[in-house]
Structure 1
Amino acid sequence: MRKKKQRAARPQEEAGKRIPTTRYNPDYREGLTAQQVQEHRLHGWENLSVEPPSKTAGEIIHSNVFTYFNLVFAVLGVLLCLVGSFRNLTFLPVVIINTLIGIIQEIRAKNVLEKMNMLNAPHAKVIRDKREWIVTSETLVLDDIVVFSAGNQICADAIVAAGEVQVNESLLTGEADEITKRKGDKLMSGSFVVSGQCHARLDAVGEDSYISRLTVEAKAMGEGEQSEMIRSLDKLVKWVGIAVIPIGVILFSQSYFYNNETFRSSITAMVAAIIGMIPEGLYLLASVALAVSSMRLAKQNVLLHDMKSIETLARVNVLCVDKTGTITENKMSVHKAVPTKEYRKAREKDEESGEAKYPSLSLMLGDFAAAMSADNITMEALKEYFKENTGKKPVSITSFSSTVKYSSVTYEDGAYVLGAPEMVLREDYPRYQGKIQQYAQKGYRVLVFGQYHGVIDGKALTDKVTALGLVLLSNPIRDKAKETFRYFAEQGVAIKVISGDNPETVSEVARRAGIEHAERFVDASTLKTEEQVAEAMEKYTVFGRVTPNQKRQFVQALKETGHTVAMTGDGVNDVLALKDADCSIAMASGSEAAAQAAQVVLLESDFSCMPSVVLEGRRVVNNIQRSASLFLVKNIFSFLLSIFAAVFMITYPLEPAQVSLISMFTIGVPAFFLALEPNKSRIEGHFLTNVFLKALPGGLTDVLAVGALVIFGMTFGVGSTDISTAATILLAIVGFMILYKISLPMNALRRIILIGCAIGLVFCGTFLNQWFALSDMSTKCIMLFVVFSIATEPVFRYLSFTVEKIREWYRKMRGREPEQTYPELPDNER
């Protein structure tokens, strides 16, 4: 081991954290010593991320406490204290409890997900003290010798010390070409190994390399990438936040200066109006429900890199799946090797001449497999099946590449290749096509083994290949594959099978897995233009011979036609498509690069759990949508009643305590329980439109009933205190009508919620009436109240009917998307 004389530079941003340290250049077989590792660690040269992947507990508390609406509530609370209206501070405990619930649930979710992340963090194989260790990538230090093989993401900038790999730097450069890296070449963090294996010395770690920013970008949602639901809530909160201040000023000015109310009464009325307009619990409810869903999925061994994917999955209408690892088990077995006529002729010549140039086909394949590293499931299967070999020594090897679709071993007497028939045989493929298709139609994956009459350079083959044998491999179909795909068919989710294998093989496997229209397949190598790709995505179900870049094209083509696309994968060649999909799902048993690029990771690599993940998404979105309409009823009512009060120059008729009472028992408590209920309904339409149209009849009913009550009360000389009490009870009646309608169809839990809230409201109104500013009503007020309470039911019913008719008309005007049709294909396209 040799020490380097230079000292590591001390970055400005790391001042106080890192100190200069000695650089080492260890032998790749020995690695750093424990003492050298400890030295780098103490000096701060570990491979730590530039920023944490999630918020700290302090940041969670800060973000929940110091919000715009909490500031508004604080100001309103101070104003009420100044005028001595302490009983109207009843909204503050609700705000505090909501904030605490948000903090507790978010911290709980953070802790659960951090434990999951810790258990499933990216790991690396490192050489230290002449031994091989498996450690998390963040515990690596400068100058560590790391072993990189196919599927690994380069976790820090490194220099190849021994071996050879092909890497994809598309995440850095945008170019999908595979680059061969040999001794002395630099490996860039954020790229990933496609094939081969090498030992590399880490040259830049932590924030000095690209990996921290790339990992955060791959995992976290950037600005503008929020789900539709959160985006809609943000928009609602923004506009309400802008509106409350001018409305509050207008209401106070009108009450105090024009209606000659006392300062206390004017402040109280203004606070009541603003509290009614603020959806204080809605955003919190959505955050809590998403956090609870993340925890539920974590218990099912499903890891979410972001919560956006819960909603997106629930809205998916096209699911792109790979054959291997999704439809089939992530393992492969060799069925047999079939010699070709050329091989038999060569053996006959050997026997006639007495030479032994061509031993048995199984021995030749054994030599080939022995020379290769087991960096993919195909090679693992070959090594397992072809154990016997002649011990022939290779001169050079080329690992399998998903771009050229072959691997090779070169000996002194020539080069041999193994790969996809179309790519290996090229112009000679038609001679073998019939036989290959016979095996492919039985579900076998067919590889061609042959002798190459040229020089291997890692690029597409150009010289002649003499085919010596066909290797037949197969993947067992997953146990619950049929059940899983039947579920998606019932839910109207179209399946697209995208694979690098022979399209006929993939089609047969897809048919056996129960995928609808699996007989409609196409060879992706024939799709040359964007128009052909777009047309094929609508026409076909199975796509074979797909390149990594084409997978990305397919996802983009589906998104451009308005589909919400989920992409599953477990291989290195899936990473680009995973990053472009609306929702990406990776198998943990697959490549590390795929797991890091995906939003959802199935830790047990069991695709059959996907229906439960989709159902969880539907549960949370549908329930939040239902609960959100409860909140919006209050907001619509308060907003319209404020305008009504301003136009007719009357003082807002409610007090803050009364608004809090109604909100608690007709909105807050039931919304929380309803948001956590099972819900399997399909999500249709846009979130804000759905919520607004559900809330509109209730909000209008409230405004008409309370507005009419106020006008008639003033006409008949009913006191403002009586009107305020009557309006509160009237709002409670309408609130329970809305709650009943939203809860349909009723079940035991919903009945308990409804009855429990009604009892709670009656109890507070009877025994705590002074706290909530409720008083005995005069005879005139009771008569008016009875009339308007009877009128609320038909008004609510007819408004609901009218809104539904308008909604149906709107749907017809927009037009529904035509159902996907599958025209009959000619035989030559099947």
Structure 2
Amino acid sequence: MIKNKQSLGGVQGLNQEEVKERIKNCQVNTAVQAPTKTIGEIVRSNSLTYFNFVFLFLATLLFLVHAYKDMSFLPLIFINSLIGILQELRAKQILDKLSVLNTPKIKVMREGREQEIWTHRLVLDDIIILEAGAQIPADAVVVSGEILVNEALLTGESDEIKKAEDSELMSGSFVVSGKCYAKLTRVGAESYISQLTLKAKAIKTTEQSEILKSLNNFVRLAGILIIPIGLLMFGQQYLIHATPIKMSIQAMIAAIVGMIPEGLFLLSSVTLALSAVRLAQKKVLVHDMHCIETLARVDVLCVDKTGTITNDKMSVSGIYEMTGSEVKNDLDLDFWRTMMAEEADNDTMKALKNFAEERSVKGTKFEKNSVQQIIGFSSKHKYSGVQFKDKTFLIGAPEFVLKDDLKKYEKTIQKFTKQGYRVLIFGEVVSKKDVELLASGERDISPIKPINIVLLMNEIRESAKRTFNYFAEQGVEVKVISGDNAETVSIVAEKAGIKNAKKFVDLSNLSEGCDFEKIVLENTVFGRVKPEEKRKMVKILQKAGHTVAMTGDGVNDILALKDADCSVAMASGSQAASQVAQLVLLDSDFSRMPQIVDEGRRVVNNLERSGSLFLVKNVFSFIVALLSIGFGFMYPLLPTQVSLVTMFTIGVPSFFLAQIPNKDLIRGNFMINILKKAIPAALTNVIIVLALINLRLWLGLTREQLGMLCVLGWEVVGITYLARICMPYDNIWKKLIVSGCTFGMLFCMIFLQSLFSVHINLSMIEWVIFGAILIITVPLMMTIENMSRWLYRNVMIKILKNKIIDKLPEIE
């Protein structure tokens, strides 16, 4: 044990030589795993994919039959992988820089001086200083001082445990109140912190977002189907119809390439990475990229009063007698010395202590020796206090310190709460039994003798009303969950423009047999909420079918943050809350929330739009491949031709469309929405291609002519569909995308004919057929859309949702 530890000021800590020795012996509090992917992991995840191996195998087959030109899809696959690698590397670089800004720091004593260092630079036997809100970075033992610790992250129990000298502290738990010096006993991999930090920073990693879950299931299905379909197509053409091996392989590969949705998954990953970068530039740190999508789907937002509706800084508005008359001159001596003795370990106590210092009693000197015990603030019991040699005083919430005596002063207190003030009661503990209970660490005591009413106030943020109006317009219900008086919070919430703010309830007054679920669903403002109740409220809202976002900045928010669908923390709050949250507002500005929601909507809506482009190709290729097997005709397109069409109707436009601002409300299931958009265009393409195959037999067209007409038909359908999904043209980029892709395709058709196996030297009959395709494409697509819309409403949605999508196996 450390010497000279009789007082907090007597701790010396390690010297530089001792620190160097422990670093040399690898006794450093280093995390066992980085919070982001390494460069190698990024390269591997984008390169060594199942479909890349499929493409490599197909390229090998083409190489063996000397069909080198048909390997044109390889550069596109390489470019796709390269884009994914570069975008993830860029995102990693920016997010890692911002992570440094949010890396937990801790106060440490070294060579008798107080320093602040990053937690991963701590070494064994370091003496750290722990205060309210700090997460304990490694296993330790208390050297001097006293704190209340919540070990909920370890045990799941939210009870506050008193830790005095020689008490053990577990890493991952957090300090609720008090102050102490603690010596680190286990650091790095030997402590619990690595596992706890990973759990906190990767909440619900086993649960995927709706987009990724849908894409994973679709990719898995496609990956399974391409193998038997490819083998059947090759076997039919080569073995049954005696088609030359080169042509059989070319037809099979063209169909398989069309069925592989390789770019769709890549597009979603890159889009989410770019979204995280854009948010980082707005001072929003993203721990989990998939929460961007989740936040866009949120329909209930749970917020606290302090830090979201009001500013963090709190001030004392006045001190009053219990009769309601203001104390304008010198403060009561007992009040003054109690505030001077209290630890400024939370915002409320800092405000009270500053006020006491400004209104100090003239000619009176505070004697520290008169203090026997400081009773730290408890979020469960809502009070703190000081035991002097002669008297004991408490200050806290009226309901918790006055208890049954609250009725005597209810009118006076309500007069202040209705004005939006936060009210505290200062008083004396007169019962000897209660004094003894407090000295032993017990908190359940009888009512105190009230002396003063203390009024505190947080100013409403200038941006609060605008922010909450935005959420009201977007159909997001706001729930205010606070530890303060319910009526006070209700008045503040109403001033901030929160809808239904008058529907408030004080949870400390609820009876045991009440319908808590009904209370949560029907009310807007909740006062005197305990940490475990916040967590319970989140679960009730989720059970009712809501997607819940939780904002918080304090240690009492951690349990609810972990359970919410999307969690947002203020960087100015506790370290533990920032680590648990999926999003961290680095400038602690709640007005950033609408920008984050808009970013999420941009991601989801644009991925739906871009994703439908990919599914047009996949559905079309799948249907034509099955018909080819069933009716014995050869797949009409070559791999090079498929590459040309997909480049300008899918690849290029999908990437740019995914980046265009889109604030539309999100409706429905992601995969069903994509299929609803894609199937009409895919069926239009199928009908045109089948018609061309039949015309070939009737008009005696060559296979080369059929292939060229199918390319032209697909191009017309592809550009038409692209033009339709870009509507309305409220953005110059949409016009540029459509015109640019049309120009790019025409350029390749004219100047790169040999590379893509196309030509424009059409016969008269071919031009007539092409003209007919131009005329019928839009009416045919619209007819199929109307028919499919009726089928979706009456049949397909139920089948897709209940029989297929929900029962697809998930990828771990």
Normalising by structure 1, we get a TM-score of 0.91
Deviations along 1:462-513, one digit per CA (max 9) or x if unpaired, are 2241111110100011110000000000000000000011011000100111
SS where residue 489 of structure 1 aligns? Answer: helix
Q: 2-side partners of 1:472 and 1:599: how far apart?
A: 35
Aligned residue number for residue 104 of structure 2: 122
Partner AA of 1:321 in structure 2: V
Deviation per CA, 1:754-783: give whole Å up to 9, x if none: 111111111111221121111444444444
Change (3 A) 1:28 1:55: farther
* CA pair 810-375 structure 1, distance change in 2 beyond 3 A: farther
Within 1, Cα distance between the matches of 2:701 and 2:462? 73
Q: Does 1:379 align with 2:349?
A: yes
Name the counterpart of 2:659: 676
The offset of 1:690, in angstroms, is: 0.5
Q: Evaluate the alpha carbon distance shift between residue 416 and residue 27 of structure 1 in structure 2; reply closer, same or farther with a 3 A threshold.
A: closer
CA distance in 2, matches of 1:534, 1:32: 53
> Which amino acid letter does the alignment assign opposite residue 507 of structure 2?
A
Cα distance, 1:807 vs. partner? 3.7
Equivalent residue in structure 2 for 1:754, among 702, 719, 738: 738
Give the distance between the partners of 1:375 and 1:656, measured in 2 at CA.
68
Q: Is residue 343–residue 469 contact of structure 1 (8 Å, CA) maintained in 2?
A: no
Secondary structure at the aligned position of 1:396 is classed as: strand
1:343, 1:467 within 8 Å by CA — same for their partners in 2?
A: no
Deviations 1:342-401 (A, max 9, x none): 999xx9xxxxxxxxxxx9644322211111111100000001111125424211111110
5 Å-filtered alignment, 1:581-592, equals 581-592=564-575
- Say yes or no: does 1:189 pair with 2:171: yes
Give the whole-Å Cα distance in 2 for the aligned partners of 1:204 and 1:812. Answer: 56
User: Is the Cα–Cα contact under 8 Å of residues 31 and 145 in structure 1 kept in the other structure?
Assistant: yes
Q: What is the aligned counterpart of 1:706 among 668, 689, 694?
A: 689
* Residue of structure 1 equivalent to 2:749: 765
Cα deviation 1:427-461 (Å, max 9, x = unaligned) = 10111111111100100000011111222144433
The partner residue of 1:251 within 233, 256, 280 is 233
- Paired residue for 1:77, among 48, 53, 59? 59
Equivalent of 1:421 in 359, 380, 398:
398
- 1:402 is aligned, of 370, 379, 396, to 379
Instruction: Please report how far the alpha carbon of residue 233 of structure 1 lies from its aligned counterpart in structure 2 after TM superposition.
Output: 0.8
Aligned match of 1:623: 606
Give, in whole Å, the separation in 2 of the partners of 1:813 and 1:699.
21
State the partner residue of 2:417.
440
Q: How does 1:113-192 map to 2 (within 5 A)?
A: 113-192=95-174
Contact in 2 for aligned 1:657/1:772 (Cα 8 Å)? yes
Q: Is the 8 A contact 2:134 2:175 kept in 1?
A: yes
Q: In the alignment, is the contact (CA less than 8 A) between 1:305 and 1:598 conserved in 2?
A: yes
**Distance in 2 separating the partners of 1:716 and 1:134:** 84
Q: Which residue of 2 aligns with 1:774?
A: 758
After superposition, the Cα gap between the structure-2 partners of 1:120 and 1:425, relative to the gap in structure 1 and judged at 3 Å, is same
C-alpha separation in 1, matches of 2:325 and 2:337: 16
Offset, 1:808: 4.3
Are the counterparts in 2 of residues 334 and 381 from structure 1 also a CA contact under 8 Å? yes
Structure 1 pair 332/362, CA: closer, same or farther in 2 (3 Å)?
A: farther
Query: Which amino acid in the other structure matches residue 591 of structure 2?
Result: S
1:398 & 1:287 partners in 2: Cα distance?
51
C-alpha distance in 1 between matches for 2:408 and 2:705: 95
Query: Of 303, 310, 334, which aligns to 1:364?
Result: 334
Cα 1:803–1:553, aligned 2, differ >3 Å: closer, same or farther? Answer: same
Q: Which amino acid aligns with 1:616?
A: E
1:200 is aligned to: 182
Over 3 Å counting, the alpha-carbon distance change for 1:301 and 1:223 in structure 2 is closer
Alignment of 1:431-830 (within 5 A): 431-452=408-429, 453=431, 454-455=434-435, 456=438, 457-527=440-510, 532-746=515-729, 747-775=731-759, 776-809=761-794
Q: Given that residues 28 and 145 in structure 1 are in contact (C-alpha distance below 8 angstroms), is that contact kept between their aligned partners in structure 2? A: no
TM-score in terms of structure 2 length: 0.93
Conserved 8 A contact 1:730-1:785: yes
SS at match of 2:756: coil
> Structure 1 pair 459/551, CA: closer, same or farther in 2 (3 Å)?
farther
Instruction: Tell whether the 8 Å contact from 1:28 to 1:161 is kept in structure 2 after alignment.
Output: no
User: Which string of whole-angstrom CA distances, capped at 9 and with x for unpartnered residues, describes residues 30-65 of structure 1?
Assistant: 000011001101111110111111111011101111
Instruction: Pick closer, same or farther for the CA change 1:581–1:270 going to 2, 3 Å.
Output: same
What letter matches 1:681 in structure 2? Answer: D
- Contact 1:151–1:194 (8 Å) recurs in 2: yes
Distance in 2 separating the partners of 1:543 and 1:221: 26
Stretches of structure 2 lacking an aligned partner (at least 5 in a row):
800-812
CA-to-aligned-CA distance 1:221-271 (integer Å, 9 cap, x gap): 554322111111111111111111111101111111122110000000000
Contact 2:2 2:143 in 1 (8 A): no
Q: Which amino acid aligns with 2:311?
A: E
> How far apart, CA to CA, are the structure 1 residues paired with 2:265 and 2:512?
45
Q: Which residue of 2 aligns with 1:292?
A: 274
Change (3 A) 1:464 1:770: closer
SS of the residue 2:755 aligns to = coil
Q: Which moved more, 1:783-792 or 1:42-51?
A: 783-792
Task: Name 1:53's counterpart in structure 2.
Answer: 35
1:96 to 53, 78, 85: 78
Aligned residue identity for 1:200 = A
1:27 CA drift (Å)? 10
State the number of aligned residues.
779
Distance 1:677 1:342, change over 3 A: closer
**CA distance change for structure 1 residues 289 and 528 in 2, over 3 Å: closer, same or farther?**
farther
**Structure 2: how far apart are the matches of 1:372 and 1:275?**
71
- What stretches of structure 1 of length at least 5 have no aligned partner? 4-25, 348-358, 815-830
Shift in Å, 1:613: 0.8
Cα distance in 1 for residues equivalent to 2:356 and 2:332:
6
Q: Is the 8 A contact 2:324 2:412 kept in 1?
A: no
Shift of residue 680, structure 1, vs aligned partner: 0.7
Q: Is the 8 A contact 1:409 1:415 kept in 2?
A: yes
Q: 2 CA distance for matches of 1:472 and 1:678?
A: 46
CA distance in 2, matches of 1:698, 1:459: 71
C-alpha separation between the residues in 1 aligned to 2:633 and 2:797?
42
Partners in 2 of 1:282 and 1:507 — Cα distance? 47
Residues 339 and 361 of structure 1 are in contact (CA less than 8 Å); yes or no, is this contact kept in structure 2? no
Shift of 1:515: 0.6
Residue by residue over 1:701-741, the C-alpha shift from the partner in whole angstroms, topping out at 9 and shown as x without a partner, is 11111012112212332111110110001000000111011
1:156 Cα deviation from its structure 2 partner: 0.3
1:770 alignment partner, SS class: helix
Structure 2 CA distance for aligned equivalents of residues 567 and 809 of structure 1: 37
SS of 1:184's equivalent in the other structure is coil
Say whether residues 1:233 and 2:215 are aligned partners: yes
Distance 2:598 2:510 in 1: 35
Answer whether contact 1:709 1:785 (CA < 8 A) is retained.
no
Cα pair distance change 1:581/1:267, threshold 3 Å: same
Give the C-alpha shift of residue 803 in structure 1: 2.3
- 2:797 and 2:699 map into 1 onto residues whose CA distance is 47
| Residue in structure 1 matched with residue 810 of structure 2 by the alignment | none
1:276 to 258, 262, 272: 258
User: Which residue pairs with 1:8 in the alignment?
Assistant: none
Q: What's the CA shift string for 1:327-355, capped at 9, x where partnerless?
A: 000111001111125999xx9xxxxxxxx
1:339 to 315, 321, 325: 321
Distance (whole Å) between structure 2 residues aligned to residue 40 and residue 678 of structure 1? 52
- Report the secondary structure of 1:330's partner residue: strand
The one-letter amino acid of 1:771's match is L
Return the alpha-carbon distance in structure 1 between the equivalents of residues 796 and 131 of structure 2: 53
Kindly, what percent of the aligned residue pairs are identical?
49
